């Protein structure tokens, strides 16, 4: 009951905060002059557009220093990466009109770069005044965006354009990005709602959402650089990092027994006991839908429906054609035990080089011919000879949302013989395991707790 009133009080505070933060001071100007794209914002926020062009959200790439096998002078990201959650990227699966379905004669627009706040003429990584003017500021900053406008179409010249809502109405609702503004793209990544990372940002699913926090309360952007963490599969970064401890410190508990664990166990391990989203996908065989177009065959799960895999992680990443995952071990003092969302994707590998091949989605989407998709991507990349053979790749995704307090792992969830950790695989000796999986470790404490609770 105490808790309940606290939550209500907090949400009232949050509400009051949004109301009193009040109207955007530029409102009158925009009302009078109309919205003419970023140039309007630049009247008062000079330099913001140019600054945005150098961020991951515009470039879909950055230098990456913690992943094996990468060239330190090159930039990597969704622009050019080849992996099996998407198998295409902005280059090989560039936004375009796909071939007509032989069954319906219909076509549609598809491309990875639909998740980019440009207009496609000024595309991922473009620079200069035209690019500055193409930025969709409102997709992140407007609370009144009409998403019917944000879809691809062909202009008079036959060029494929990514539409935007540039109405004055939308520009009159400027503010700090809400969770929805961010989820417009992040929720549908990987081929559908909550497919890729599988985290719902709702009060039921996450303590922070329940307290009225939004993405940018944690991902506090600075000059549009967005802090991120060390998800083994999130390579591109703006050079800023965030972690749970930034706000909570390393010893956040009243209970000293819990605090002792934070040296070797990441907060997420206890506080994010579940994952969600796609668990496996087959890019070599696509399924036909009701509209007669094809999609990669995908096994989907809801947020909180799957269990994580626990491994040591020192924030450096193993990267081979068949595995993208955490490096680290018990002896390495920089390693902690983290939870990961496990995903496996089947795609074509080049028998000659062993490398994973990428795919242009346009051909398979129309006809189901996945090898035609590989051929189109190879052509774009200038790969002349290759021998496609199907194979699987395993990816460990960071699991950093869906935070819970009430369902956080309690002592016996790890220290009972059927606990969630595989101590042996984590490098503990049999003698140690005997001690770590004995009720002695937690018995007195939990008896005490039981007494208090009843």
Site for ligand HEC in 207-266 (CB under 6 A): 207-208, 211, 213, 215-221, 223-224, 226, 228-231, 234, 236-238, 242-248, 250, 252-254, 257-258, 261-262, 264-265
115: Cα separation from own chain's centroid: 12
- State which of positions 32-71 bind ligand HEC (CB under 6 A): 35, 38, 40-41, 43-45, 48-49, 52, 56-57, 60-61
CB of 420 to another protein, least distance (A): 5
Partner residues linked to 153 by β-bridges:
161
b/e burial code for range 14-50 (CB count within 10 A of at least 16 → b) = eeeeeeeeeebebeeebeeeebebbebbbeeeeebbb
Residue 7 touches which of ligand HEC, another protein, none (Cβ within 5-8 Å per kind): none
Task: Specify the residue, 125 or 363, whose C-beta has the smaller distance to ligand HEC.
Answer: 125
Beta strand segments in 327-369, E? 336-350
Residue 422 interacts with ligand HEC (CB under 6 A): yes or no: no
Residue 150 interacts with ligand HEC (CB under 6 A): yes or no: no
- CB contact at 8 A, 397 and 197: yes
Task: Specify the residue, 366 or 411, whose C-beta has the smaller distance to ligand HEC.
Answer: 411
Residue 177 interacts with ligand HEC (CB under 6 A): yes or no: yes
- State which of positions 10-29 bind ligand HEC (CB under 6 A): 10, 21, 24-26, 29
DSSP secondary structure string for all residues of 366-415: HH--HHHHHHHHHHHHT-----EEEEEEEEEEE------STTSPPHHHHH
- State which of positions 388-407 bind ligand HEC (CB under 6 A): 398, 400-401, 403, 405
Residue 23 touches which of ligand HEC, another protein, none (Cβ within 5-8 Å per kind): none
Residue 362 touches which of ligand HEC, another protein, none (Cβ within 5-8 Å per kind): none
167: Cα separation from own chain's centroid: 29
Interface contacts to another protein, rule CB under 8 A: 112, 114-115, 144-148, 180, 184-185, 188-195, 202, 273, 289-291, 295, 305, 307-310, 322-323, 342, 394, 407, 413, 416, 418-422, 425
Residue 117 interacts with ligand HEC (CB under 6 A): yes or no: yes
CB of 433 to another protein, least distance (A): 14
Residue 49 is inside which H or E element, if any? helix 48-52
Number of H-type helices and E-type strands within the chain: 19, 13
How close are the terminal C-alpha atoms of the chain, in Å? 16
- State which of positions 333-372 bind ligand HEC (CB under 6 A): none
Residues whose CB falls within 8 Å of the CB of residue 17, separated by 6 or more in sequence, listed in order: none
CB of 217 to another protein, least distance (A): 19
Task: Specify the residue, 52 or 109, whose C-beta has the smaller distance to another protein.
Answer: 109
CB of 148 to ligand HEC, least distance (A): 16
Residues whose CB falls within 8 Å of the CB of residue 147, separated by 6 or more in sequence, listed in order: 165, 184
Beta strand segments in 156-211, E? 160-162
Residue 408 touches which of ligand HEC, another protein, none (Cβ within 5-8 Å per kind): ligand HEC
Distance of alpha carbon 66 from alpha carbon 328, whole angstroms: 12
b/e burial code for range 367-396 (CB count within 10 A of at least 16 → b) = bbebebbbbbbbeeeebeebebeebebbbb
Residues whose CB falls within 8 Å of the CB of residue 71, separated by 6 or more in sequence, listed in order: none
Residue 117 touches which of ligand HEC, another protein, none (Cβ within 5-8 Å per kind): ligand HEC
Give the dihedral of Cα atoms 188, 284, 282, 360; nearest 10 deg: -10
CB of 103 to ligand HEC, least distance (A): 32
Task: Specify the residue, 231 or 282, whose C-beta has the smaller distance to ligand HEC.
Answer: 231
Residue 146 touches which of ligand HEC, another protein, none (Cβ within 5-8 Å per kind): another protein
Residue 403 touches which of another protein, ligand HEC, none (Cβ within 5-8 Å per kind): ligand HEC
Task: Specify the residue, 13 or 389, whose C-beta has the smaller distance to ligand HEC.
Answer: 13
């Amino acid at each position: 009951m105490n808790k309940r009133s606290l939550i209500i009080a907090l949400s009232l505070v949050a509400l009051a905060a949004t109301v009193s933060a009040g109207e955007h001071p530029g409102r009158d100007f925009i009302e009078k002059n109309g919205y003419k794209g970023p140039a309007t914002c630049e009247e008062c926020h000079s330099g913001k557009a140019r600054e945005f062009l150098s961020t991951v959200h515009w470039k879909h790439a950055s230098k990456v220093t913690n992943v094996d096998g990468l060239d330190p002078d090159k930039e990597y990201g969704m622009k050019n990466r080849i992996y099996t959650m998407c198998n295409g990227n902005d280059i090989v699966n560039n936004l375009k009109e796909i071939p007509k379905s032989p069954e319906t004669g219909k076509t549609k627009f598809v491309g990875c770069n639909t998740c980019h706040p440009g207009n496609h003429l000024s595309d991922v990584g473009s620079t200069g005044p035209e690019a500055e003017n193409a930025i969709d500021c409102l997709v992140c900053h407007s609370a009144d965006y009409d998403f019917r406008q944000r879809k691809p179409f062909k202009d008079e010249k036959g060029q494929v354009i990514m539409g935007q809502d540039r109405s004055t109405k939308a520009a009159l609702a400027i503010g700090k990005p809400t969770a929805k503004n961010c989820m417009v793209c992040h929720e549908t990544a990987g081929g559908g709602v909550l497919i890729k990372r599988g985290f719902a940002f709702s009060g039921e699913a996450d303590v922070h959402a329940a307290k009225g926090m939004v993405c940018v309360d944690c991902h506090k952007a600075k000059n549009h650089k967005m802090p991120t963490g060390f998800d083994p599969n999130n390579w591109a970064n703006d050079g800023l990092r965030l972690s749970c401890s930034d706000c909570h410190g390393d010893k956040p508990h009243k209970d000293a027994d819990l605090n002792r664990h934070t040296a070797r166990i990441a907060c997420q391990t206890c506080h994010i006991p579940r994952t969600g989203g796609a668990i496996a996908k087959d890019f070599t065989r696509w399924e036909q839908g009701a509209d007669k177009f094809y999609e990669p065959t995908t096994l989907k799960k809801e947020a909180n429906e799957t269990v994580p895999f626990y491994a040591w992680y020192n924030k450096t990443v193993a990267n081979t054609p068949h595995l993208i995952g955490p490096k680290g071990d018990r002896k390495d003092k920089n390693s902690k035990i983290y939870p990961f969302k496990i995903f496996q994707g089947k795609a074509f590998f080049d028998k000659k080089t062993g490398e994973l091949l990428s795919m242009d989605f346009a051909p398979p989407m129309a006809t189901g011919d996945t090898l035609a998709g590989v051929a189109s991507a190879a052509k774009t990349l200038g790969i002349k000879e290759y021998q496609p053979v199907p194979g699987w790749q395993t990816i460990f995704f960071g699991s950093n949302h869906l935070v819970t307090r009430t369902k956080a792992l309690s002592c016996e969830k790890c220290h009972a013989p059927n606990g969630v950790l595989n101590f042996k695989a984590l490098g503990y000796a049999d003698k140690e395991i005997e001690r770590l999986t004995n009720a002695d470790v937690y018995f007195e404490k939990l008896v005490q707790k039981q007494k208090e609770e009843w």
